[in-house]
Amino acid sequence: MYSSDVKKSRSFTVICGLVLALAATLPALGQQSKIQTNKRRPVNIQSIPNGAKMKFKGVVIGRDADTFTIRDRNRTDYQVLLTDNTSIKTNGGFLRFGKKYAVTDILRGLIVEVEGRGDTEGQLVAEKVRFNETDLRAAITTDTRVNPVEVNQERLSGQMDELHTVAAEARIEAEEANERISALDDYDVQETVTVNFRVNSAILSPTAKQELDVLAEKAINAKGYMIEVGGFTDSVGSEARNFILSRQRAEAVVQYLVVKHKIPARRFVSPMGYGKTEAVADNRTASGRAQNRRVEVKMLLNRGMSRRPATTSLNRQ
């Protein structure tokens, strides 16, 4: 189904996205499988022997919270499980140093190379996931901007040679969509919580824990999210000490959410301590200093994962 130069062909990624969108809107003519949220694999997913080491390349055709389905060039589907130990990067250049990405950046239509071992559920537990950055940008465009097009039943049956005209139109639309989203961030702030600390302390108070409990409940039920944690201090004390204390406060929040609420560590942006910078109140007053002794916690939602697909009615010929 896929040519050998698929990693260099951005237009091929757009075609894959179109076929996936059409199959979703006309299930009677497309594939019958759906990615399920429980651990039971769909009936057409190829099972991988427990402990078997595998490495293959294909297109992501479905995403769930911690799993995705990949279809290789032989039209075989596999279910891949992402863990805290999964290395997700772009393919490196001359020195083979790729850029790290979060699990939420693996989108439908992305061409990936996966390496890992099978588990008892027949899934591939991914150790490495690699892809090209240009393919990621194309997948984001396809997933969020390109609408399904009208095609007849013969094209849906798999005759890819007849999709060249459709692909040319989609390429133009994708280029226009790229211009519209080039200035947008990848994540939107969904929730923000600020917790305060006592003087010279990085210990969470009962009130702070209650506020973090509320945020954790919302995060557990969300998909495609990351959590950003930043610590701050008042102006009392040396600059070096304040940077250390602010980092300790941020780490205390991360530890509480990971240990108490079992939020995976991979969901967190590296906690940062900002010291006495970015004060929100006047450090010359006691009440102002109390407000500045804080940690700001932000739950960020990936736009590509959280956007609801548009419903489009297709005219059947």
Predicted TM-score of the model (pTM) = 0.46
Summarised one tens digit per residue, pLDDT across range 160-192 is 555 556 666 667 766 665 654 543 456 788 889
CATH topology assigned to domain 6-184: OB fold (Dihydrolipoamide Acetyltransferase, E2P) (2.40.50)
Question: What are the DSSP calls for the chain, one per residue?
Answer: ---TTGGG-HHHHHHHHHHHHHHHH-TTTS------SSSSPPTTSPP--TT-EEEEEEEEEEE-SSEEEEEETTS-EEEEE--TT-EEEEPP-TT--PPB--GGG--TT-EEEEEEEE-TTS-EEEEEEEE-HHHHHHHHHHHHTPPP----HHHHTT-GGGGHHHHHHHHHHHHHHHHHHTTS-SEEEEEEEEEE--TT--PPPHHHHHHHHHHHHHHHT-SSEEEEEEE---S-S-HHHHHHHHHHHHHHHHHHHHHHH---GGGBPPPEE-TT-S-SS-TTSHHHHHHHSEEEEEEEEEHHHHSPPPP------
Domain map (residue ranges) of the chain: 6-184, 187-304
pLDDT tens per residue across all 317 residues of the chain: 444 444 445 555 555 555 555 554 444 444 444 434 444 445 578 999 999 999 989 999 988 888 999 998 888 999 999 998 999 998 875 556 778 888 888 888 889 999 999 999 999 999 999 998 888 888 777 665 544 544 455 555 555 555 556 666 667 766 665 654 543 456 788 889 999 999 999 999 999 999 999 999 998 888 878 999 999 999 999 999 999 999 999 999 999 999 999 999 989 988 899 999 999 999 999 999 999 999 999 998 877 555 554 444 444 44
The CATH number of 187-304 is 3.30.1330.60
Summarised one tens digit per residue, pLDDT across range 195-212 is 999 999 999 999 999 999
